Amino acid sequence: MYQSFIGLEIHIQLLTESKVFCGCTNRFGDEPNTNVCPVCMGYPGVLPALNAQAIRLSYVVARALNCEMSPQAVFERKNYFYPDMPKNYQISQFSSPLGRNGWIDVAYNGKTRRVRIHEIHLEEDAGKMIHAGDMSLLDYNRAGTPLLEIVTEPDMEFGEEAEILLQDFRRTIRYLGVCDGNMEEGSMRCDANVSVNLEGRGLGRKVEIKNLNSSRFVKMALNYEIGRQKEILDKGGKVVQETRLWNENRDVTETMRTKESAHDYRYFPEPDLPAFVPDAEFLAQVDRGLVELPAARRERFVKDYGVNEAAADFLINEKGTADFYEEVAALGADPGAAASWLQFDVRKILNRENRELAGSPLTAARLAQLLSLLSGGRIHGKIAKQVLEAVFAEDKDPGLIIREKGWEQMDDAAELAALVDRALAANAKAAAAVKAGDAKPLGFLVGQIMKATQGRAQPQMVQELLKEKLGI
Amino acid sequence: MDVSELKVTADLANIELGEEEFASLGREVEKMLDYFSKMMETDGMSLPSGPGRRAANRTRPDAVSGDADPDSLLENAPELEDRFIVIPNVL
Ligand SMILES: [Zn+2]
């Protein structure tokens, strides 16, 4: 039978203030060619200078992906002629990239596979080129912005694993705060490579796939490509080693014409940049940049808070949500209740209003207060949901809301007794039926009292009072 | 230097040359390469500087310098359209 070998090349744009080798602003969406200077425009006689934050973030990623961190990160010139790179070379790393031999675990189909990271290197991004008829438009705002490339070994077998790896990786870099991981906007980009061979025969002829704008497309393109290559081999044919493009309208990969010399970059050392040698102080800084990563946090949430896997998955997906959850729990809220409220009620409102938890009127303190009002019996479930809505609508504390609206639970026995008497008088028929042994109308009577109090009456007390008065 | 190797190099550098030029250039490139191999014989590592041999890393803080003048740089572009630099289409 056949075996498939999948590897990924992931590029992420680092979240720095300035570009990697010059002091231009690093920002997406500005007017074309506003963030440019002689260095990133490739003017003669200029000198690049390495951005300290860019190299620090790079090492943080290398560390988080379990890489051996290079004692000497060397920069090289990767030569190629294309108008998106005004210098005619890209400053990149070749002989001594900053990270090597790392790994990332991918859990799929009940199995965990360790995917090796071949290397991680820091380079500069190219400018943007828009093809418009017989001319091309160039914007160099992105030229020279810090780009980190992560190359995996061809250790995966299924498109699904590649999709999961990308999702996990995206979560990790967002946790680390090094990149926002937006594949649609291109702050995270991915090329895939795949080969198919008879089992036990090692790698086949490698095909690279480009134009993958989401992790779902990566999965679809890889699975399509594996099928295509198997079919060729079935017919006794040979797979052509080439670069193919994913066509997202037709769900197929297509041949991309490339020059034969496209991969002959003639790397040579960048004479203008000394090698970067991380010292103890720098490595300590890198350590401080690490946070508890999503997989570890998921495990801890299940263990420490007793939440189920699905809830843990939801809670850890965004670091902000996980931090928020832990804050609510630390304020004394029941972890199970807090998880469930975040996963369902709060999420429902956020989705409806198309907003994020961060910066919303719901703070951890407010959710904790709401849950404490609920568990303390001061409000009951249905009112609690209304209070949550009101927190979002009015930006006030739950305690204040229930006081202002008079939503506090009615648990005064005398007050409730009077209401029960009134309900029994108004619904004599139902009362008589209950007395005669038919329990059904009891619920109706409770409902009448709940209605009369807009849901504020303490239901158990109402029920007990009713039973008492009806002598059952 | 082998002419075929020279041709690949010329192609990578986007330089078009005729056969005669290849012949004469080949000899000149040969001289340069000889000179480079001679330089490689020297003990560069004992020199006080060179990549990886500095006492401290040279980096700059992650801050926008704000001293660039993008508009004057754009004046050197052959053609502009809404701040985009316009060039003939390349694939
Ligand atoms: Zn610049």
In Å, how far is A195's CA from the nearest CA of chain B? 27
Q: Are residues A440 and A393 in the same domain?
A: no
pLDDT the model gives residue A217? 96
A416-450 confidence digits (pLDDT tens): 888 888 888 888 888 888 888 888 888 898 888 88
Reported pTM:
0.84
Residue B83 domain flag? no
A39 & A160 share domain: yes
pLDDT on residue B52: 47
pLDDT at B66 over 90: no
- Identify the H or E element spanning B73: helix B70-74
Does any domain span residue B41? yes
Residue B87 located in a structural domain: no
Whether residue A302 sits in one domain with residue A241 = no
Q: What's the pLDDT at B54? A: 57
Q: Does A262 share its domain with A330?
A: no
A88 part of a folded domain: yes
B residues 29..48 contacting A (CB < 8 A): none
- Stretch B63-87: mean pLDDT, rounded? 92
Task: For chain A, list residues with pLDDT below 50.
Answer: none
HSE, side-chain direction, 13 A CA sphere, residue A349? 17
Three-state SS for B81?
strand
Helix (H), strand (E), coil (C) string for chain A:
CEEEEEEEEEEEECCCCECCCCCCECCCCCCCCCCCCCCCCCCCCCCCCEEHHHHHHHHHHHHHCCCEECCCECCEEEECCCCCCCCCEEEECCCCCCEEEEEEEEEECCEEEEEEEEEEEEEECCCEEEEECCEEEEECCCCCCEEEEEEECCCECCHHHHHHHHHHHHHHHHHHCCCCCCCCCCCEEEEEEEEEEECCCCCCCCEEEEEECCHHHHHHHHHHHHHHHHHHHHCCCCCCCCEEEEECCCCEEEECCCCHHHHCCCCEECCCCCCECCCHHHHHHHHHCCCCCHHHHHHHHHHHHCCCHHHHHHHHHCHHHHHHHHHHHHCCCCHHHHHHHHHHHHHHHHHHHCCCCCCCCCCHHHHHHHHHHHHCCCCCHHHHHHHHHHHHHHCCCHHHHHHHHCCCCECCHHHHHHHHHHHHHHCHHHHHHHHCCCCHHHHHHHHHHHHHCCCCECHHHHHHHHHHHHCC
What average pLDDT score do residues B21-49 get? 83
Count of structural domains, chain B: 1
Residue A203 inside a domain? The answer is yes
Cα A195 from Cα A205, distance rounded (Å): 5
Asked whether residue A403 is domain-assigned, the answer is no
- Among residues of chain B, what percentage have pLDDT more than 90? 34
Do A329 and A263 have their domain in common? no
H-run or E-run covering B20: helix B19-41
CA distances, A430 to each of A425, A433, A438, A453, A465 (Å): 10, 5, 9, 19, 16
Contact: A23, B63; criterion CB under 8 Å = yes
pLDDT tens for each residue of A172-207: 999 999 999 999 889 999 999 999 999 999 999 999
Contact A274 B85 (CB under 8 A): no
ipTM of the complex: 0.83
Report d(CA A465, CA A446) in Å as an integer.
Answer: 10
Question: Among A352, A368, A397, where does a domain finish?
Answer: A397
* pLDDT, tens digit, 9 for 90 and up, residues A239-261: 999 999 999 999 999 998 776 66
Nearest chain A residue to B11, by CA: A261
- Which B positions 51-80 lie with beta carbon below 8 A of chain A? 51-52, 54, 57-68, 70, 73-74
Do A140 and A8 reside in the same domain of the chain?
yes
Assigned domain for B30 exists = yes
Chain B residues in contact with A264 (beta carbon < 8 A): 8, 12
Residue B55 lies in a domain: no
Q: Which residue of B has its CA nearest to A256?
A: B91
The whole-number pLDDT of residue B43 equals: 75
Does residue A37 share a domain with residue A183?
yes
Of A397, A426, A460, at which residue does a domain stop?
A: A397
Given A367, A397, A427, the domain boundary residue is A397
Q: Is residue A452 part of a domain?
A: yes
pLDDT in the model for residue A67: 97
Q: For residue B53, is it within any domain? A: no
- Residues A266 and A303 both lie in one domain: no
Q: Do B52 and A53 touch (CB under 8 A)?
A: no
* DSSP β-bridge partners for residue B88: A135
How much is the pLDDT for B40? 85
Asked whether residue A408 is assigned to any structural domain, the reply reads: no
Domain hosting A13: range is 2-285
A198 shares its domain with A57: yes
Domain co-membership, A348 together with A435: no
Same domain, A386 and A431: no
Q: Tell me which residue range forms the domain holding B14.
A: 3-46
